[in-house]
Structure 1
């Protein structure tokens, strides 16, 4: 799994730098100059003093070899007063280095932190006020269309993280899982790991159950390897624990109250074939007794 939510979100932009342009043009309706490709630039933004400034990600949009717009992407998980002094430095330093317009895009998965990030920064000079472009849960669109998710898996990923409690969450999950099929295994694993690490435990188990049951047509070689071969756990014992969690998640999602004796029978089972059979039954049973028949 990614070492942290912060590093995982940074890696999303490293995987596809053009995602920064998608966000500022599509969600913030910024007038983006015509460009042909996007590149990652150094996030080191030193000034003339020994102080070192380093942005999380810098994406530069180019027309030919000419930089036409630079996007500083910051992942902010909680308020940090120091950022209100360093963000303006990032913008002016990069503007001077690349000699093109620069914008600041801040991603904050937490609503309260996003509100803090969006507060204007008053520099002191008349008329100079920095208002960061902030993407919090309320600004992330609800992505339930499989085609839209496949066209922009990164936006679908953010949608899962932002709207895991939405009434349409199964459709949101479904579109995201379908989008994973369009990616190479390494990138799909990164995105799946990031989502599973960021979601609340109960929601994570529900998503794991969707990914591990064979009733969905998006079940792919990647998904089978990811769950049935125990990628997330790494050992046969860990794989069994993962199957147990998935089975209990399916039962919980379907509203079953699992009696203590049944829970003990499930949690003590280490037979992967038996657990997979129970998971398959759990999707359609009408009573708990049917699970073990």
Structure 2
């Protein structure tokens, strides 16, 4: 089963196909912005029973260089079989569509990113035949966007920056900048980015910060994430109210029991208990005051003196 971060790392490119050209400058290449983009089927299975499926596949068209294919793979950890799969993807797509094929691998940790960008050849050293070396986007080269103005200039890139830095110390600052920038964005723009970011953070500690930011900074915005936080806040408030009520009930029960003890001691000592004394004792709800009266009830010569009034 694929994880939420896995889905966020590649689906964000489906959401905004032009993101690849903006990301490319951080990867050391210059990819023209597309003038047209088409999402293609991701199933690369042939007649044999082995299923092969790329995460995201886009057909991008540029004004100067013509169309090309972009395969986006989300990689959460090192996997020895992946380079062979990537080689298959690119060779198959090139053969099927007869278009130049680019491969982008998106990672969330330095070790996986370093591993993914190493060239892998399918042939012997002296006969490389087919070499796969994908472009890799990860915490090592994606920008750390901490200024709301910078995040506002490219909200999708800021979301990707948060996703790729999900495990990095600087992610909190990125999330705060992104949430601030999203305040001014229309809901149809903010909504998918809020969800992509939440998916990318998954169960990492930063997820709690993002949920709180969405609930507070984007309080106008309705989403499962914001509603989830608000529901938790309501549950916490209700739990606190229940705890207070239960404490009051326990205090009342304790006060009633202590009042009964005071009257019992006075009665057992054979003291006359006037009605005003009995009423004052039974109506008292102060546990500390009742404790003092209980101590005096053992020694006072008259019931009226249990209160210790001057």
Tell me the residue number matched to 1:258: none
Supply the distance in 1 between the matched residues of 2:66 and 2:136 (Cα, whole angstroms): 23
Structure 1 segment 1-293 matched on structure 2, within 5 A: 4-23=4-23, 25-33=24-32, 35-47=34-46, 49-63=48-62, 68-124=67-123, 125-126=127-128, 128-163=130-165, 169-181=171-183, 182-183=185-186, 184=188, 186-200=191-205, 203-213=206-216, 219=218, 221-222=220-221, 225-226=222-223, 231-232=227-228, 236=231, 238-241=232-235, 268-270=239-241
Q: Deviations over 1:44-67 (max 9, x none)?
A: 223564433210001111148x96
Supply the distance in 1 between the matched residues of 2:211 and 2:4 (Cα, whole angstroms): 19
Q: Confirm or deny: 8 A CA contact 2:8 2:197 kept in the other structure.
A: no
Tell me the matched-pair count.
234
RMSD: 3.3
Using a 3 Å threshold, how does the CA distance of structure 1 residues 269 and 226 change in structure 2: closer, same or farther?
A: farther
Q: Deviations over 1:126-181 (max 9, x none)?
A: 36422111112112110123233223223212322344576655542222113434
Supply the distance in 1 between the matched residues of 2:15 and 2:42 (Cα, whole angstroms): 15
Is there any run of 5+ residues in structure 2 with no aligned partner, and where? 243-310
Larger radius of gyration: 2
Using a 3 Å threshold, how does the CA distance of structure 1 residues 31 and 8 change in structure 2: closer, same or farther?
A: closer
| TM-score with structure 2 setting the length | 0.63
Quote how far apart the aligned CAs of 1:121 are. Answer: 0.8
| TM-score with structure 1 setting the length | 0.67
